[in-house]
Amino acid sequence: MESIFNPVKHSGINNIIKAKDEYYYTSDGRKFIDLESGIWCASLGHNHDKINHIIKKQLDSLSHVSKRVLPSYIDLIAEKLLKITEIDGKVIFLNTGSEAIEFSMIMAKLIHKTGKLISFTDNYISAYGQATKIDEKIDIKPCLKCSKSNCDINCSAIKDKITEHSVFIFDPFCFSRMILKPPVKLIKTLETEIRKKKGIIIVDEITTGLGRTGKWFGYNHFNLKPDMVVLGKSLGNGYPVSAVIIEKTIIKEVEKTDFSYYQSHQNDPLGCKVAEAVINVLHAENLIERTHESGEVFLTFLRKDLENINGVEDIRGIGLLIGIELKKEISVEKVYQKLAEKGIIIGISLKFNMLNVIPPFTINSGLILEISKKIKESIVEVEQSYQLNKSINQNKII
């Protein structure tokens, strides 16, 4: 791979020729279990037959249109998204999650030009644009340890954070792969305060949306009513389509302006059809409930297998969004390589020393025990290597 620029440290696996369900296949006959669903996109599994069928069929009829015309069926597809998000409003289909986030920011700032942009500390929202320039950050770590039954808006963690016309955007659980669960009481208090200050709530469901957490959306765990919902990644099961679902009061305010926006594949026929197919499969195969059940089984096995492993700091998860925090002396990169040698591709966060288990919803339940055992073996091997090197270095000093 001499001609490819890849600004991510590579695994050394560069001969993938096929993917199906939870597996990658290589040209030399190996296969790897994919615990990242691609880049968290292939939630229904790689090369899902029904999604592929829709793509092939649509390519034979209509895949792209100009900006001043729309495909006949697009409104019906938008209605499906409005129904599952329970938002009374409108939908725009775009390409990527970052683009959709940026679009939601543009919409919010059209209405509240001077309002502060607020999010949680370590909430990764977008790769570029306004969402990378947060005005105010709320650190939820003290809140995770709070034993009070209710939040107080005067608590130091949130006091004076919400101002008039604030725009609050957050990813419910991912937190740059840390997999943290904000207390419901905190989210409800922030929601109440934002409503008082006539602000806007945007939920980034790029990672958590469409079943990943065992509910349709991450915000469903908080009984929250957002003004905008951003979808990406799993909306196309690997095909690049995203969406912003926008509450009608926002739409009405924006329509009072001279706002215009256009990207080459905005509201494209093919992307819309893929999104519809994904929603249909989630319904037909009962994958939201399956994700909840598989996540519980995964967490049970991991906690049992890793409970006495010194190198493990914590195990956290919700649905099939699971994080294993390792102690700082245990290198996640080395654990990654050990697992790759055993035929497993796992997600990692170098910054927070996390392993991430984010597999397709359709993962074979019979693999879960095997995967848990191999994760244990790999962590133990790296831990033993660390202890051996530590002992050798101590002996050298003596």
- pLDDT per position as a tens digit, 16-72: 999 999 999 999 999 999 999 999 999 999 999 999 999 999 999 999 999 899 999
Q: Where are the domains of the chain?
A: 16-34+286-397, 50-284
Predicted pLDDT at 386: 80
16-34+286-397, CATH topology level: Aspartate Aminotransferase, domain 1 (3.90.1150)
- Residue 397 confidence class, pLDDT cut points 50, 70, 90: low
Both tokens of 30, joined, read 């190996």
The answer to whether residue 114 scores a pLDDT higher than 90 is no
Strand-pair partners of 23 = 20, 33
The answer to whether residue 3 scores a pLDDT higher than 90 is no
Q: Do domains 16-34+286-397 and 50-284 have the same CATH topology?
A: no
pTM > 0.75: yes or no: yes
50-284, CATH topology level: Aspartate Aminotransferase; domain 2 (3.40.640)
Mean pLDDT computed over every residue of the chain:
93
Strand-pair partners of 138 = 120
Predicted pLDDT at 149: 86
